Structure 1
């Protein structure tokens, strides 16, 4: 069993990552957490900020009551701020938010106002055991490849995803907001998370059609599980319209989605691929679920990552959410292959 205590090597990693995010002497920082945050992450962040000479404060909110019909995990949408005006105004006056909330503030309802104030950037320290963060530490050299991948997405008009199992998905990328992170950012409004290494697009309305077949070894990150059976999805005009499969994986996924009683839970949220060379698929077998938020597996180099749930760019909002990384897929942008059978190609190759 892994212990959660301060280790010198982890503190050193936090100092390096914070410095990579432009935190140093005099940087105004808010260390944001909630009562259910992982204490060791808050403590490591506090010590690293102190060592770097940051001008920082610590804000802790009570974790809000559960309101959903089923457990909500791995959404990237923290409700910890709960619209508290004093907290929002304080965060707008900071250069950086070091975010140790359980789910993270990336999709939090308050982040847009904070971002639009024009000063603050966000660094999400995801709710992982520090050993996972140590292995997936963002590095400056990761930046150019991730930036190139995001640029390729922005310049493309169509993504096509295929696999030997039968996946054949077409995504209209025209006017789709695209982004991602290598795990660091230094400009106002920048959003980074550790682990980083993602290139993503948020398709607009009526943009996604086809079939997705998830196979043994693919992952359901909401459940923090590795599939042991096939799930066959039909996608029509952005929505999952059929989920076929006789195994436990398909059964649980169907029941969880149905529990929301919300059509938007079946909508496509984002599509993209992972770029982190430190992320390892097999590490899922080495940790208990409580040790991980499973962000590592979103960033698996060469994986195809697709997600169901909220997509604000298509006008769809819901708490129901799945992140579903797949191995051994081929991804093409306007016919140019960027991932072949799960391996990054060309300018993106490791």
Structure 2
């Protein structure tokens, strides 16, 4: 894949959102399996802006899991190696180009606590990043969405397909992604546009119906038949469905031999009107990490696996964006039948 000038411009726009300054030393964290074109584009864009890019490259880890791991946001490549941590720590921008990303990595709190800010550029084909890097400012609506979550006591999610989910927000950790790591202690990822909550233990109960056309991002696959997940005190107690999609999910979860793989990780909704639900259809699985599908406006995002707030650390992980759901915070609709209620975020 050859470098395109327009892609360098795309990466410049991303780094402008991070307020990169001339002569600023910017640390690029990558691994041997990182997408080479994105590493190169980062270096060229930073150099064009007058910054000083410094590449920190670590070996990708051997596969030691019972099944393939995809799109977790929990890279383990740093391995708490002291020389690597020393190089990454301190004030300044870290450009995260690891395959899985540092969003849920065990070392992230220490890096943010040292004064670093982290821009996680998802492992996507540059065409995806180019299409979604426009003059779109999502900071205000996403931050207002996070405030709603922080003040809220409960979230209710329903759909005509049969979803009826109740989520206690008390004690949850909340956050948002709008796409610019512009201050110390902040982590963002691109593409952006997501409001999220990590519920405390025992907070999620009800039924989640994954309907035809909803997405299993771990498999990078649109569902062709419905699946019903019965959830009791955070844990999927039964995966209902007599079809291939349900069988694949049952098989993958069972392979972990870990009860916490069945538990909720985070819940939230997408806020990016440029992101497309149907974009996954246009790329081979090796060309996308699926972050666009997490962010498309109006999706309800339900995820399983690791949740630090609840004390769960499973590597098993599903990100499941659902369409046509209504999401309410304390009775106030923020998403109605898959459409963002933008008035709620002003």
Q: TM-score range by the shorter chain?
A: over 0.9
Q: How do residues 1-350 of structure 1 correspond to structure 2 at under 5 angstroms?
A: 4-117=1-114, 119-137=115-133, 139=135, 141-347=137-343
1:82-101, Cα deviation, whole Å (9 max, x unpaired): 22100101111340100111
1:324: Cα distance to partner?
0.2
RMSD (Å), alpha carbons: 1.3
- Structure 1 gaps of 5+ residues are none
Q: Provide TM-score, normalisation by structure 2.
A: 0.98
Q: In structure 1, the residue corresponding to 2:260 is in which secondary structure? A: helix
1:56: Cα distance to partner?
2.7
Question: Relative to structure 1, is the Cα distance of residues 75 and 223 closer, same or farther in structure 2, using a 3 angstrom cutoff?
Answer: same
Q: Provide TM-score, normalisation by structure 1.
A: 0.97
My pick for the range that moved more, 211-220 or 283-292, is: 283-292
Say if 2:91 and 2:184, in contact at 8 Å, map to a contact too.
Answer: no
Could you tell me how far apart the structure 2 residues matched to 1:120 and 1:240 are? 37
Say if 1:138 and 1:183, in contact at 8 Å, map to a contact too.
Answer: no
My pick for the range that moved more, 267-276 or 133-142, is: 133-142
Say if 2:268 and 2:300, in contact at 8 Å, map to a contact too.
Answer: yes
Could you tell me how far apart the structure 2 residues matched to 1:314 and 1:266 are? 13
My pick for the range that moved more, 76-85 or 131-140, is: 131-140
Could you tell me how far apart the structure 2 residues matched to 1:175 and 1:83 are? 29
- Structure 2 gaps of 5+ residues are none
Question: Relative to structure 1, is the Cα distance of residues 72 and 128 closer, same or farther in structure 2, using a 3 angstrom cutoff?
Answer: same
Q: In structure 2, the residue corresponding to 1:141 is in which secondary structure? A: coil
